[in-house]
Amino acid sequence: MRYAVSLRRAGAVKIAGVREGPGSAERHEECRTASGTSQSIGHVTDIATTSLKDSLAREARALGFDSLGITDPDAITGVRERLDAFLAAGAHGQMDWLADNPGRRADPKVMWADVRSVIMLGVNYGPDENPLAILAQRSNAAISVYAQGDDYHDLIKKRLKLLARWLIAQAGGDVKVFVDTAAVMEKPLAQAAGLGWQGKHTNLVSREFGSWLFLGAIFTTLELPRDAAVADHCGSCQACLDICPTAAFPAPYQLDARRCISYLTIENKGPIPREFRKAIGNRIYGCDDCLAACPWNKFAQAGREIKLAARDELRAPGLGELSRLDDAQFRAMFTKSPVKRIGRDRFIRNVLIAIGNSGDATLVREVERLLDDDSALVRGAAVWALSELGPVNEFQARMAIAASAETDAGVRNEWSDAIA
């Protein structure tokens, strides 16, 4: 997830210092003119602003951005109603931060009253191989394309800061920078800015880059020429809906995150619901199925940023090897990776679900070892994996020993449910 919706909690930093009130859940990146006051170029001629926009696009390209568009902060009409319906249905699951101040999330001017233009930027992270091929290698782990390289937040944030400083040096004004770290609805804004359109899987689709774009935003007090919004080009196709293993799309353009494998393996903090475990297969962090199925990917190209390229050790790591990671080893292996943020216990939970789906009896010993793990979350997943792999008589014998000593009610339920 990439994600079918933006599933990440608001973060906060600032270029010239942190501006955040007591208890603030969000921060932003901010640049000011050298004088520290806001300036506007609203009085400048259309020719001058057009030239500035062209120069901005060239600078963005030189910094590694692959697409740029500009829109009005009022351009995303109707978003509030769709967000309210999503939240009212409970489709956001445990992501309570999505429900925090929806008016702020749906309207850039509530986020920042002085914003006059929204610059949307995209970085292509297209894979160099078919991301669905790994799903057939059941004893190996499938990690979402976006998480196989370095964390894009850090990379794009630095480039947004550089571009923001360049813009201020050229034209003045105030600028705030966001990269999936605040209450900003990047995908509707990106569609309004002409970068692509939100497909039936709710992700942005680009004619040039398919479904593989990271998004960042620059809010500015400058009046800049707008780009035309992109029309929907999905037509009658619903490949992204049909391929979803867990039926996470109740209708086109609607997502129930509670059924999404990206949500289940990343945002979900507890046990993975039993109804989805088999469908997860060997996906241990995120899911690319709906993205990869899009026919517009035939025009996509591999990303040009080496830091976002897949690390060899994360393309198809063995499940047995991953199951043996302790906390220090997990942190070392996923340094600079977005995978690191879910922590070792949730990661091993995911690995155990994949092991249970692998059909690989050689992994039974790894599972048995984790029945004694310090984490109840891990122990519960190990019980399920063992019930899927081990012979019934051996499972029952192990249950007679372990279940009676288990102190966690959830893990005891896993034992009883496994033989129900």
Considering the domain architecture, whether residues 155 and 86 belong to the same structural domain is answered as yes
Is residue 277 classed exposed, middle or buried when 0-12, 13-18 and 19+ CB atoms within 10 A define those classes?
buried
pLDDT band at 15 (very low <50, low <70, confident <90, very high): very low
Q: How far apart are CA 343 and CA 163, in angstroms?
A: 33
Residue 84 and residue 62 share a domain: yes
Do 302 and 211 belong together in one domain? yes
Per-residue pLDDT band at 183 (split at 50, 70, 90) = confident
Residues 16 and 74 reside in one and the same domain: yes
Residue 8 has pLDDT above 70, yes or no: no
With contact defined as beta carbons under 8 Å apart, do 197 and 208 qualify?
no
Helix spans in 199-281 (H): 239-243, 261-262, 274-280
Which range has the worst mean pLDDT, 75-89, 330-344, 378-392?
Answer: 75-89
Is residue 252 domain-resident? no
Query: Which of 312, 346, 381 corresponds to the end of one domain?
Result: 312
For the chain, give the percent of residues with pLDDT over 90. Answer: 73
Comparing 112 with 419, the larger pLDDT belongs to: 112
With H, G, I as helix, E, B as strand and everything else as coil, classify residue 215: strand
pLDDT in the model for residue 31:
45
Residue position matching structure tokens 């509707």: 188
- Residue 402: pLDDT band (50, 70, 90) is confident
pLDDT above 70 covers what percent of the chain?
88
Residue 203 belongs to domain spanning: 1-128+149-233+296-312
Q: How many residues does the chain have?
A: 420
Average pLDDT over residues 327-332: 98
**pLDDT surpassing 70 at residue 47:** no
Confidence at residue 420, expressed as pLDDT on a 0 to 100 scale: 73
Contact 212, 124 (CB under 8 A): yes
Q: Find the mean pLDDT for residues 364-389.
A: 97
Cβ atoms of 264 and 213 within 8 Å: the answer is no
pLDDT confidence tier of residue 46, bands split at 50, 70 and 90:
low
Give the residue among 273, 194, 186 at the shortest CA–CA distance from 228: 194
Residues 215 and 336 in one domain: no
Pairing status of strand 283-285 against strand 142-143? parallel
Mean local confidence (pLDDT), 247-258: 97
Closest C-alpha among 334, 338, 363 to residue 351? 363
Does a structural domain hold residue 271? Answer: no
Q: Is a pLDDT exceeding 80 seen at residue 38?
A: no
241 in any annotated domain: no
Give phi and psi for 213, each to the nearest 5: -130, 130
Q: What is the DSSP letter of 333?
A: H
Task: Determine the pLDDT at residue 180.
Answer: 82
Distance CA 143, CA 146 (A): 8
Residue 172 has pLDDT above 60, yes or no: yes
**Residue 400: what pLDDT?**
85
60 and 101 share one domain = yes
Tokens 């903090």 belong to residue: 269
Whether residues 20 and 92 fall in one domain: yes
Task: Kindly state whether residue 263 falls inside one of the protein's structural domains.
Answer: no
Between 194 and 44, name the one with better pLDDT: 194
DSSP structure class, residue 25: S
307 shares its domain with 329: no
- Asked whether residue 138 carries a pLDDT value surpassing 90, the answer given is yes
**Per-residue pLDDT, 181:** 72
Average pLDDT over residues 111-126: 96
DSSP per-residue string spanning 144-192:
-GGGSSS-HHHHHHHHHHHHHHHHHHHH---EEEESSSSS--HHHHHHH
34 and 167, same domain (yes or no):
yes
Instruction: Say yes or no: 196 and 121 in one domain.
Output: yes
Name the H helices within 282-408: 289-292, 319-323, 327-333, 343-358, 364-370, 376-389, 392-405
Mean pLDDT of the chain: 88
Helix (H) or strand (E) holding 67, with range, is strand 67-71
Give the count of alpha carbons within 13 A of 250, CB side only.
Answer: 11
Centroid of chain to Cα 114: 29
Do residues 4 and 244 make contact, with C-beta atoms less than 8 angstroms apart? no
Q: Which of 312, 342, 357 is the last residue of a domain?
A: 312
pLDDT in tens, 284-311: 999 999 999 999 999 888 998 888 989 9
Question: Which residues, including other chains, have CB under 8 Å from residue 4's CB and lie 6 or more apart?
Answer: 201, 202, 203, 248, 249, 255, 257, 260, 262, 290
Mean pLDDT for the stretch of residues 237-250: 98
Say how many C-beta atoms besides its own lie within 10 A of residue 45's C-beta. 9
Dihedral angle sign, alpha carbons of residues 33, 37, 38, 44: negative
Residues with catalytic roles: 180
Measured in whole angstroms, the distance separating CA 418 from the mean position of its chain's CA atoms is 32
**Per-residue pLDDT at 377:** 98
pLDDT of res. 58:
96
28/88 same-domain check: yes
Query: Is 290 a member of any domain?
Result: no
Amino acid type, 7 = L
Query: Average of pLDDT values for 171-194?
Result: 93
Report the chain's terminal Cα–Cα distance, integer Å: 35
Q: How far is CA 40 from CA 95, 178, 217, 418, in A?
A: 37, 20, 19, 65
How many CA atoms within 13 Å lie on the side-chain side of 287? 30
| Domain end (from 281, 312, 343) | 312
Give residue 404's identity as a one-letter amino acid code: S
Domains of the chain: total = 2
Judged against a pLDDT cut of 60, whether residue 9 lies above it is answered with no
Backbone dihedral region for residue 229 (phi beyond 0: left; psi -120 to 50: alpha; all else: beta): beta
Mean predicted confidence (pLDDT) in 218-247: 97
SS3 content of the chain, % helix, strand, coil (to 5): 45, 10, 45
CA–CA distance, 280 with 404 (Å, rounded to integer)? 30
Q: How far apart are CA 212 and CA 124, in angstroms?
A: 6
pLDDT of residue 405: 87
